[in-house]
Structure 1
Amino acid sequence: MTSLLFSPLQIGQVNLENRIVVAPMCQYSANDGCAGDWHVMNLMQLAISGAGLIMLEATAIERHARITHGCLGLYSDENEAALARVMASARTVAAPGTRWGIQLGHAGRKGSAQRPWEGRGALESHEDPWQTEAPSAIPFVDGWHTPRAMSQDDVLRVRDAFVAAARRAARLGFDVVEIHAAHGYLLHQFLSPISNQRDDEYGGSLENRMRLPLEVARLVREALPDTVALGFRVTGTDWRPDGITTEEAIVFTQALKALGVEYACVTSGALAPATIPVEPGYQVHLAAEVKKRTGIVTRAVGLIAEAQQAETILADGLADCVALGRAFIDDPRWPWHAAEQLGDLDRIRYPGQYERGSVRLWPGAAMFRPNAEALAD
């Protein structure tokens, strides 16, 4: 059997061997932006999974663009050297054909925050907080620190920092660069009227609110080699009547596509408090609408955890690929087990050292995984 999930996908000049993407997941374990041993461990185990594309976590373009003190960065030579060491290790063990991507972002008003296991709140005075910046001086939530409203010089500085980080990513050999314009971070803050109340050319109308993200898209695309695919993580809705609508997301994505952006990962929320109907695949309809209206390569994300669920999303034409985050934390071998469940055993790329744990060679697999005994025959 050949499933759609394990069929190839072309994004720009980058060919993915399957349509499984490891979503970018913050690890909060860097030292002044520099990747370390935790990143080696995490990326090496993801590297052997057989996922077509592995996206590194949200990576800050400036020191004060980080969410927390532990966030990965690509703003210094030290950051670049540390990540080069980590990627060399991960590539050594990666399944053949694995592609690597990195997500670049700026936290804006959501920065200067505690790591999740430290409380998730704004850094307190004894925790070395920093002054955050945003389109407007509006706190993320009540009790959070108030950001500094960015000047036009600040806007240009941030724009150029995205370009500089993208150039570093290209030097590091990434196949894909993704710009984070969602989840309440800086570019999302410019796009949403909830957080952007400027009265200059970067605020007000949708055209003005899109200006900085589109400038970033144009300049980053110009700075990257054609062989590197460029994508954006976009917001399908803020889940509030005063925020970004799906229609606005479509207009934004159409503009991105016209500038040479080659895919959109469609997500939602996290900019301001809202009621979100969280359930399996709750954001897929947003990806489907963006795909239908723009024709751009579209990635669905959000509580996608089961192989048949992912296959159905693709079979119904709702997205071109799917991204999984927490599912990979729960099961770093998710693609192996998805191939078993979909009857696509020939698509599993076990490292030779682990093949003796496959359903064909280990009788114990039948005890733990549905249909394993039949697949082994």
Structure 2
Amino acid sequence: MSTPPDVFAPTTLGPVRLRNRTVKAATFEGRTPHGQVTDELIAYHRAPAAGGVGLTTVAYLAIAPDGRTHREQVVVGEDTLPGLTRLADEIHATGAAIAGQVGHAGPVANGRSNGVRAIAASPMPSPLSMQMIRSASEKDLTRVTRAYVDAARVLVRAGFDVLELHMAHSYLISSFLAPGLNRRRDRWGGPLERRARLARQVARVVREEVGDAVAVTAKISVSDGFAGGVTTPMGIEVAQLLEADGHLDALQLSGGSSLMNPMYLFRGEAPVAEFAATMPPLVRWGMRSPAGRGFLKRYQFEEAYFREKALAFRAAVGMPLMLLGGINRLSTMQQAMADGFDFVVMGRALLREPDLVRRLEAGQASRGTCIHCNRCMPTIYSGTRCPEWAPDEVIPVPLPSN
């Protein structure tokens, strides 16, 4: 049996050289109140980059105005190019690489905030805007596909190293993959191969646009965690289709649904009271109702909670895979390497301790101090942070109010 790779040793992701195999996950930053890169956003990503991660991921970069989850998010384009370039330059100065999570939010978009109705594979009510989400037309899908190409072109010009295509969490592409959200009878619905048409089309056109200038990855689901969502066997089949197409350099294995079951992704305690306090009065009342409390389900937390499902993906595809799911310990990172995963992705652990990777590599720590209380989740509206730990050197100026 071959020796597992060292998680801290240099490696490659497609055409990109990385200083190690650690990735800071894409997590809403809440630091673009006017849809532009800010000093606060740069500081947020510079902290884990200076703290040792190989790759930090900017989230979330919308390909079109109607693809934002809400109006404060960055839309990739000529007007945001200067800020994105400055952000990439700052990250590169630390020795880390930078990824942009690009996508269209689909039914996760707040149509009322964006000023345009959200789209999805099929019509559905929106709990975010209290509007009906309309079914995407052929014209919409042509427009969206072109927008992915345009966004990819801009991010390459900005100096980004990796493009992460968002195909999970009930965002637009994910809504086509999930049979319960895709009730179409045209060429975009029905059997999984047709439901996966948009995912495969987007991966193809983005790769054709960027060539080998950057790495292209996709975030996909090991399980959506709700009836009618993507199951593990479906997710494996999607991974096999994407691998066979040959347009992607790696897959990041995630899970859950931002609309239907967000706690499936996070696990642990559900911060219902804290979330409710950040919402408008009507939504606040709904979250405190029995139905609202049931929306934020409670799952027992265990580190690397997607590992078992991810191992099934590892057995089914040969392409590089990224493992995430509450990774907090050096031993878990080493186990991921032994399991055959190529990268480890960390979110909450780095939110609490941006320098964790550097300290783990130096032998100054064997685990992070994040307790996965999930009280960071409601802070996405005012500047994502660990409520228990936000030193001045990481966030040197007051956070913008969204």
Partner of 2:323, secondary structure, is: strand
Q: State which structure, 1 or 2, has the greater radius of gyration over its C-alpha atoms.
A: 1
Q: Give the CA deviation at 1:62.
A: 0.4
What is the aligned counterpart of 1:195 among 181, 198, 214? 181
Q: Distance in 2 between matches of 1:278 and 1:84?
A: 41
Q: Is the 8 A contact 2:166 2:220 kept in 1?
A: yes
TM superposition outliers: structure 1 runs of 4+ over 6 Å: none
In the superposition, relative to structure 1, how do residues 51 and 271 fare at CA in structure 2: closer, same or farther (>3 Å)? closer
What is the aligned counterpart of 1:105 among 103, 109, 128? 103
The residue aligned with 2:356 is: 334
Matches within 5 A, 1:23-38: 23-38=25-40
In the superposition, relative to structure 1, how do residues 329 and 253 fare at CA in structure 2: closer, same or farther (>3 Å)? same
Q: Give the CA deviation at 1:262.
A: 1.2
Q: Would you say how many aligned residue pairs link Structure 1 and Structure 2?
A: 326
Partner of 1:188, secondary structure, is: helix
Q: Distance in 1 between matches of 2:215 and 2:163?
A: 6
Matched, 1:84 2:82: no
Instruction: Name the amino acid aligned to 1:330.
Output: R
Instruction: Name the amino acid aligned to 2:255.
Output: S
Q: 143-152 or 56-65: which moved more?
A: 143-152
Q: TM-score by structure 2 length?
A: 0.76
Q: Is the 8 A contact 1:188 1:271 kept in 2?
A: no
Q: Distance in 2 between matches of 1:143 and 1:61?
A: 20
The residue aligned with 1:118 is: none
Q: Give the CA deviation at 1:251.
A: 1.5
In the superposition, relative to structure 1, how do residues 285 and 144 fare at CA in structure 2: closer, same or farther (>3 Å)? farther
What is the aligned counterpart of 1:223 among 204, 209, 212? 209
Cα shift readout 1:12-49 (whole Å, capped 9, x = no counterpart):
22222211101111112224532112112112222211
Q: Distance in 2 between matches of 1:54 and 1:142?
A: 28
What is the aligned counterpart of 2:7 among 5, 8, 19? 5
The residue aligned with 1:263 is: 250
Report the aligned-residue RMSD. 2.3
Q: Give the CA deviation at 1:129.
A: 4.5
Q: Is the 8 A contact 1:50 1:335 kept in 2?
A: yes
List alignment gaps of at least 5 residues for structure 2: 265-298, 367-402
Partner of 2:82, secondary structure, is: helix
Matches within 5 A, 1:38-49: 38-49=40-51
Partner of 1:147, secondary structure, is: strand
Q: Give the CA deviation at 1:158.
A: 0.5
Q: Distance in 2 between matches of 1:30 and 1:129?
A: 18
Q: Give the CA deviation at 1:106.
A: 0.8
Matches within 5 A, 1:68-217: 68-74=70-76, 76-92=77-93, 94-95=94-95, 98-112=96-110, 129-141=115-127, 144-217=130-203
Q: Is the 8 A contact 1:307 1:342 kept in 2?
A: no
Percent same amino acid among aligned pairs? 29
Instruction: Name the amino acid aligned to 1:110.
Output: V
Q: TM-score by structure 1 length?
A: 0.81
